[in-house]
Amino acid sequence: MSSCQKLIKLPNSFGNLSSLESLDISRCWKLIKLPNSFGGLQNLRTLKLSGSGIEHLPESFGRLSSLESLDISRCWKLIKLPNSFGGLQNLRTLKRSDSGLAGVFQKFD
């Protein structure tokens, strides 16, 4: 689904795709938010949001218990992570270069 210039939003029912393991919605500039049901993607291992228009992640994001790789590079509008982000126990790779979160991670570099 990457580079889908006309994608504005994902349906609330998107979180029902519980068997989904990989999702690439990078370079979807008009997509500014993910549905609250997004945390229902319990088998999601890889998520690419790079270059999208995402402004914030839903609080349910922390329920993505299988997520291993997250790419939020070039997400300039994303300036804050949800409190639940710390619940991503299996997250191994976080690509965040050129994102609005640069200052958030400075103390970890």
Average pLDDT value over all residues in the chain: 90
Neighbours of 49 (CB within 10 A): 26
How much is the average pLDDT of 23-28?
96
- How far, in whole angstroms, is CA 10 from its chain's centroid? 13
Full set of structural domains in the chain with CATH: 12-108 (3.80.10.10)
Question: What percent of the chain has pLDDT above 90?
Answer: 75
Predicted confidence (pLDDT) per residue in 70-84, tens digit: 999 999 999 888 999
pLDDT given for residue 3 in this prediction? 72
How much is the average pLDDT of 85-105?
84
3-class SS of residue 59:
helix
| Tokens standing for residue 68 | 């291993």
